[in-house]
Amino acid sequence: MRSSWAARKVVVVGAGRSGRAASELLLQLGAHVTLTDSRTAGELGASVDDLERLGATLALGGHPPQLWESADAVIASPGIGPSALPLVAARACGVPVLSEIELAAAYAQAPCVAITGSNGKSTVTAMVGAILEKAGLDAPVCGNIGVPLSTVVAAALRGEHRPDRYVLELSSFQTETIERFRPRWSAILNLSADHLDRHSTFESYAEAKLAICTNSTSDDWLIYGADDTYLTNHLPPHPQHVPFSATATVTVPAAWLEGNGVHWRDSAGDTHRVVGTEEMQILGRHNALNAAAATALACLAGASPQDAGTALRNFRGLEHRMELCGTVAGVRCVNDSKATNVGATVAALRGIDDPIWLILGGRDKGADFGELAPHLANVRGVLLVGEATERIAEALPAAVDSMPCDTIDVAVAKALDNAATGEVLLLAPACTSFDQYTDFEARGKHFRALIADRGTPDVAR
Q: Are 397 and 372 in contact (CB under 8 A)?
A: no
DSSP type of residue 123 = H
Question: What one-character-per-residue DSSP string does 362-396 give?
Answer: SB--S--GGGGGGG-TTEEEEEEESTTHHHHHHHS
Which residue among the candidates 32, 121, 209, 272 is catalytic per the annotation?
121
Nearest to 428 by CA among 317, 369, 340: 340
Which residue among the candidates 195, 241, 263, 446 is catalytic per the annotation?
195
**Residues 411-415: contacts with CB within 8 Å, 24+ apart?**
411/359, 411/383, 411/384, 411/385, 412/359, 412/383, 412/447, 412/450, 412/451, 412/454, 414/383, 415/357, 415/359, 415/381, 415/383
DSSP type of residue 237 = P
209 is catalytic: no
272 is catalytic: no
Q: Are 102 and 268 in contact (CB under 8 A)?
A: no
Residues 6+ apart with CB under 8 A from 238: 213, 216, 220, 222
The order of strands in the sheet holding 112-116 is: 141-143, 166-169, 112-116, 185-188, 221-225, 241-245, 254-258, 261-265, 271-276
Amino acid at 364: D
- Hey, is 326 helix, strand or coil? strand
Amino acid at 415: A
Nearest to 89 by CA among 5, 11, 195, 23: 11
121 is catalytic: yes
Which residue among the candidates 119, 144, 190, 341 is catalytic per the annotation?
144
- In whole angstroms, how far apart are CA 349 and each of 122, 148, 214? 19, 31, 34
Residues composing the chain: 461
What's the longest Cα–Cα distance across the chain?
66
Give the residue numbers annotated as catalytic, written as ranges: 121, 144, 195
